[in-house]
Every structure is written in C-alpha cells, then in structure tokens.
Structure 1
C-alpha cells in the first residue's frame, strides 16, 4: 500500500500505560488531519497515567509542535510520507523518539528556538516561530540525527512528582 493511501492512525502498544510504565508506537501519514487524530490517540492511550493537566498540556504542545513541523517542513515538497513516534513512560518521565524520511533540518542541526520580541503592537506580533523555542524550553536531552534518508528527533519530558 502506498503511504498516501493510508488514512487511519496506526497504534500498537508493547504494554498498556498503567501505573508507572508503558509504551506506545504511533505511525501516521504526514498531514494535518492525521496529526490531530494522532494526538487524540496518544491522549487516549495515556489516559491511565493520571498526568496532571499541566503535564498533559506539555505533552500535547510539544508533540503537536514536533509533528506539525515535520508535516510543514520535512514533507512540504512531497505528497506523502509517514511519521513514526515512540513514547515510553517510566517513573514520571516520557521518553519520545520521532522518525520521518522527509527533508533534513537546515544545516543538519536543530533550530535554536530563540524567543521572539513581543514588545510591539498587537497587530505586529509574529504569527509563528514560537515552536522550537517552546520545544527547547519544555524538553530535556533534545537530540536530532540524520542517517541515510531518516530524521530522528529524541527528547524527554519530565513530569512533576505525584507524591
């Protein structure tokens, strides 16, 4: 089956998210609709973790930014592509690895994600460019690698202790 014909989110689970452990593997077509459905699938799959609203918001924001950047930039010139995400939760940390075969990062490096100047009129506020700054601020151990035709982005999301 050609990737552009895949319409549904594919989800496999090595084990259920319960207690302090769990893993999800998600494969989605690289398009906006599939990213939205993928985020809903991740939220559903992680519902047993009892994350705080703040922690869930961080997961959703970071993963949405990463997936949307892949759709918008890595696959912008192609009609199809797939994104694979691995999420492993253990002891209040979510380890994430996202893989695609789109274009590489500019200069083969992660964007720095500098903060935007917001000291201007509301009408002059920038419309975008906040994503990489947020990703850098909210994640730990953020790494990017390109091997052959494959991009791999990995990072950790530490959560507040539930004690």
Structure 2
C-alpha cells in the first residue's frame, strides 16, 4: 500500500509514518508538495479546507492508495486564540474521513503577532528566538515543553485513518 501526504514538512511526514507504524498498516509513505489553497495562516473552517485540499491533491499527484492532508490553523473561543490541526484522509474509491488534534490556547505574545499577519510558526520563532519551529517542536513544544508537533499530529492521523484499516461502517 502507498500512502501520500500533501506536504514536504518533515514533522507531518514523520507523524504519518509513526501513525502507520502504530496501527500496523503495511504501507510506504511518500510526500508531495501541494498548495492547500488557503491563507498561510488558516482561521477556523479554512483549516478543514486546507487539509482536505492537501489530501485530495496528494492522491491526484501520486499513485497512492490513500492521500493524507494535515493543516494547522487557529480559531477564536472565549476571547482566546486557539491552535489546532486538521487531518484528512481520502482514497481512490471516494472514502474520506477527518479528525483534528488537541487544541491549545496561544499566549498574547503569539496572538498579537498572528493578528499582525504572521503565521503561527513565524510568530513562535519570533517569541522564542527560534528558527524553523514548524519543522521541529512547533508552538506546542515551546509552550508545553513536553508535547512536540509530531506527537500532536500522530493521534489525529490514526483517528482519520481508522475507516481505511478497521472496516467499520
């Protein structure tokens, strides 16, 4: 079986590999760079659209059996800005499923930069004097010091994939 992911981000690729290993799916993972066709920093529903677009485009541009899209985004709740990710999985027969990660509040220092037009990864790099946080720990890693971005994605990848390996109606 061949599984494609619509991103060249190493954290997303490793999260898919880890999820596939955990569920015992005999699959090779390939990555392809695609445009999610949403703003650089998706808000709310745009995050679902971006993940779905990534999944379908990765399927279309490869010979894979399953396409996966992961899109990080933000949404507002109770006057706080929350970060989260959406994972979409699709196959060539039209089966599709999605899940999303744990969400977490963002501190004012990051929130203010996002409202100034920065993407979460860039805002995280500025606040924590880091480089390439979205390819490594991510905002969640810097904020919690325990959970990294890969870990944040593994469970929703597993949850999005269950219809493809568990044969449940």
The answer to whether the superposition gives a TM-score over 0.5 is no
Going by fraction, where is helix more abundant, 1 or 2?
2
TM-score of the two chains, using structure 2 as the length reference: 0.31
Q: Could you state the TM-score of these two structures normalised by the residue count of structure 1? A: 0.32
Q: Which one has a larger percent strand, Structure 1 or Structure 2?
A: 1
Higher Cα Rg: structure 1 or 2? 1
